[in-house]
């Protein structure tokens, strides 16, 4: 059998390629051209098998052939091998089996930046700042954080041996950790930003997102929330059902959420809120940026078009292609584009990619796709919104960027994180603690001990001083109280968040107009959910 496979794999690849390619190519109706293409493919793959000095492995050729073919369609159709397909399913389910540690790749190795409360790592005593040096007796030197994650995950109830290096301890500290189910929550953060404003940050859209969001809103209301800041920045999307589930909680009865149009505009499908939906009357502002894509753009577009909330930030990515995920032998998958998304006002979410895939996948950070120069559309209340790709915010606000000096301290040397770990162990850290002058001097002295390059001019620069103080404070909160605490601290200094709070009264006034228009039209009932 092995001998037969070794000699026949090339024909298996061709057969698989034909099986996938034939229905796609059939759209042209030119059977002769299709056959010529397949004949050429067969000839080339045969020559590779016979003549190449280093013939590729069968898996390499099959993966490259399928991926190359899909690349000719659009930027978002793709093939998933066993590992990729398994990871996608774990992300959608909202849970996986692992040790409950959030890890990060740093110049010195892969480090634990936080542990899941009540998870296996916390129970055995792993701390933020521990460098993972071995997994099951094998060194992690040279490993990426992704590679370490794959080794830490496994079947429920199995044991993984982890050795960590901890500051102030000689040698490695070893732990035997039993893997258990770890929630991979879509709602990343949910807290009261001010006494009346709640903030909910959703990192992706999976099977549990709608329920998580509903629970978060209920909990924040119990804490006094009267208006909401919904953070969808860097949310790359996910499941359509999750996005529509969020919209059903935010919009009124019978309101259009999104339209899907298939090949050549045929096969149109509209998704609306149920007739029994009720409009929850809390004002809302949504934060977006260039990392906001797909399902998160559907939510943002529906909220903006129906005047349910104000949008602040940067024009979103513009990923409006619908992928149907098809399982292949239950272990692999094909994500194939089958339609396009349109917002309720008729805007096509998808950004143009016909002028170069590289420009599409690596857009300039400072370049807005169209801004206010795109096609004009109208919201329910007659406000002007713009199409042409992505969601254009009502208020454009650039994200804060670190100075080069502070950026190097954070990302190249991990100075803030390392010092925060030491500070926690030596002196402890208070909730929302702001570094005072004595702490900044101690940080400066530590940098000199570590031989981190820093001139007097760089240290004394006012912009660097302000940013260093904020970055150090955030990492201290991350290390001591978890990443939500650090995010809460830095959010209070975020220019986009500040703008969102500034325009919240406008969101409230717009919601009142919407409510009046619904009453005049005798549309959906209103409710203030508790």
**Residues 80-97: tens digit of each pLDDT:** 887 777 777 766 666 688
Buried b (16+ CB within 10 A) or exposed e, 58-96: beebbbebbeebbeeebbbbbbbeeeebbbebbbbebeb
Band of residue 492 on the pLDDT scale cut at 50, 70, 90: very high
Helix (H, G, I), strand (E, B) or coil at 168: coil
**pLDDT bracket for residue 333 (50, 70, 90):** confident
Other beta carbons less than 10 A from residue 313's beta carbon: 28
- Using CA atoms, how far apart are residues 124 and 143, in angstroms rounded to an integer? 24
Whether 491 shows a pLDDT value over 60: the answer reads yes
pLDDT at position 476 over 90: yes
- How many CB atoms neighbour CB 521 within 10 A? 9
Q: What pLDDT sits at residue 17?
A: 54
Query: Is residue 385 predicted with pLDDT exceeding 70?
Result: yes
Q: For position 316, what pLDDT does the model report? A: 93
Say how far apart CA 475 and CA 406 lie, in whole Å: 13
Do residues 386 and 370 touch, judged by C-beta distance below 8 A?
Answer: yes
* Interval 432-444: pLDDT, tens: 999 999 999 999 9
> Bridge partners of 180?
98
Residue 523 predicted with pLDDT over 60: no
Query: Which residue is catalytic, options 277, 294, 316, 491?
Result: 294
**Confidence (pLDDT) at 6:** 46
The whole-angstrom separation of Cα 116 and Cα 499 is: 32
Alpha carbon 376 to its chain centroid, in Å, reads 29
**Among 60, 62, 54, 59, which Cα is nearest to 19's?**
62
| Residue 176 bears catalytic tag | no
Burial class (CB in 10 A: 0-12, 13-18, 19+), 361: exposed
Task: Name the helix (H) or strand (E) containing 258.
Answer: strand 256-261
Q: What phi, psi does 286 have (nearest 5°)?
A: -110, 135
The percent of residues above 70 in pLDDT, for the chain, comes to: 85
Per-residue pLDDT at 92: 62
Cβ neighbours of 493 (radius 10 Å): 15
99-114 pLDDT per residue, tens:
999 898 888 899 998 8
pLDDT at 403 over 70: yes
- Kindly state the tokens that stand for 473: 């404070």
Residues 217-254 have pLDDT tens digits of: 999 999 999 999 999 999 999 888 999 999 999 999 99
Task: Write the pLDDT tens digit of every residue in 335-364.
Answer: 777 788 999 999 999 887 766 666 666 655
Which one, of 309, 303, 313, 292, lies nearest residue 258 by Cα?
303
Q: How far apart are CA 435 and CA 427, in angstroms?
A: 13
Active site residue 319: yes
Mean pLDDT, rounded, of the chain: 86
pLDDT of 4: 41
Cβ-based neighbour number of residue 179 at 10 Å: 20
Reference 319, options 345, 286, 290; nearest CA is 290
Which one of 319, 418, 424, 488 is the catalytic residue? 319
Return the SS3 of 23. Answer: helix
Q: What pLDDT band is residue 299 in, cutting at 50, 70 and 90?
A: very high
Higher-pLDDT residue of 61 and 437 is 437
Q: Single out the residue of 81, 86, 91 nearest to residue 154, CA to CA.
A: 86
Q: What is the pLDDT of residue 393?
A: 96
Based on the residue annotation, tell me whether 294 is a catalytic residue of this protein. yes
Residues 6+ away with beta carbon under 8 Å from 443: 419, 435, 468, 472
Report pLDDT digits (tens) over 420-467: 999 999 999 999 999 999 999 999 999 999 999 999 999 999 999 999
For residue 467, with 0-12 CB atoms within 10 Å meaning exposed, 13-18 middle and 19 or more buried, which class applies? Answer: buried
List, for residues 42-60, the tens digit of each pLDDT value: 787 778 878 888 877 767 7
The more confident residue out of 232 and 373 is 232
Q: How far is CA 276 from CA 69, 131, 173, 515, in A?
A: 45, 52, 57, 16
Backbone φ/ψ region at 267: left (φ over 0), alpha (ψ -120 to 50), beta = left
pTM, rounded to two decimals: 0.80
What three-state secondary structure class fits 165? strand
Task: Say which residue the tokens 């026949």 belong to.
Answer: 8
pLDDT band at 530 (very low <50, low <70, confident <90, very high): very low
| Alpha carbons 230 and 387: distance in angstroms, whole number | 22
């Amino acid at each position: 059998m092995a001998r037969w496979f070794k000699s026949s794999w090339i024909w298996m690849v061709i057969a698989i390629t034909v099986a996938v390619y034939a229905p796609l190519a059939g759209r042209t109706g030119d059977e002769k051209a299709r056959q010529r293409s397949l004949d050429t493919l067969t000839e080339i793959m045969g020559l590779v098998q016979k003549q190449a000095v280093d013939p590729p492995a069968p898996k390499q050729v099959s993966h490259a052939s399928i991926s190359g073919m899909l690349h000719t369609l659009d930027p978002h159709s793709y093939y998933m091998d066993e590992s990729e397909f398994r990871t996608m399913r774990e992300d959608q389910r909202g849970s996986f089996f692992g040790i409950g540690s959030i890890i990060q790749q740093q110049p010195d190795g892969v480090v634990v930046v936080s542990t899941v409360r009540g998870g296996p790592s916390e129970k055995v005593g792993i701390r933020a700042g521990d460098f993972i040096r071995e997994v099951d007796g094998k060194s992690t030197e040279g490993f990426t954080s992704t590679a370490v994650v794959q080794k830490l995950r496994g079947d429920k109830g199995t044991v993984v041996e982890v050795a960590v290096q901890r500051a102030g301890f000689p040698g490695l500290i070893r732990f035997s950790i039993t893997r258990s189910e770890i929630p991979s929550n879509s709602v990343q953060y949910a807290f009261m930003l001010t006494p009346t404003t709640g903030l909910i940050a959703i990192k992706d859209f999976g099977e549990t997102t709608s329920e998580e969001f509903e629970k978060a809103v209920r909990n924040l209301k119990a804490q006094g929330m009267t208006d909401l800041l919904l953070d969808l920045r860097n949310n790359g999307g996910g499941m359509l059902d999750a996005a529509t589930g969020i919209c059903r909680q935010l919009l009124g009865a019978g309101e259009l959420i999104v339209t899907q149009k298939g090949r050549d505009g045929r096969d149109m499908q509209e998704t609306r809120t149920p007739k029994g939906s009720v409009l929850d009357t809390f004002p809302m502002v949504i934060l977006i940026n260039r990392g906001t894509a797909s399902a998160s753009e559907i939510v943002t577009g529906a909220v903006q078009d129906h005047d349910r909330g104000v949008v602040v930030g940067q024009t979103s990515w513009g990923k409006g292609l619908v992928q149907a995920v098809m399982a292949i032998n239950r272990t692999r998958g094909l994500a194939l584009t089958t339609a396009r998304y349109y917002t309720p006002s008729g805007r096509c979410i998808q950004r143009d990619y016909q002028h170069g895939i590289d420009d599409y996948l690596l857009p300039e950070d400072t370049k807005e796709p169209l801004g206010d120069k795109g096609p004009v559309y109208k919201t329910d209340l007659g406000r002007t919104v713009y199409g042409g790709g992505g969601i254009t915010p009502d208020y454009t606000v650039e994200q804060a960027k670190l100075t080069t000096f502070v950026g190097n301290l954070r990302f190249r040397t991990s100075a803030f994180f390392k010092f925060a770990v030491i500070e926690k162990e030596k002196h402890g850290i208070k909730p929302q603690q702001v570094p005072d002058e004595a702490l900044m001097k101690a940080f400066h002295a530590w940098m000199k001990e570590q031989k981190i390059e820093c001139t007097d001019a760089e240290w004394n620069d006012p912009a660097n001083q302000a940013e260093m103080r904020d970055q150090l404070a955030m990492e201290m909160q991350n290390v001591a109280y978890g990443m939500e605490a650090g995010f809460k601290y830095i959010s209070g200094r975020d220019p986009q968040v500040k703008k969102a709070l500034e325009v919240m009264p406008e969101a409230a006034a717009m919601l009142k107009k919407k409510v009046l228009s619904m009453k005049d039209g005798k549309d959906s009932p209103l409710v203030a959910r508790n």
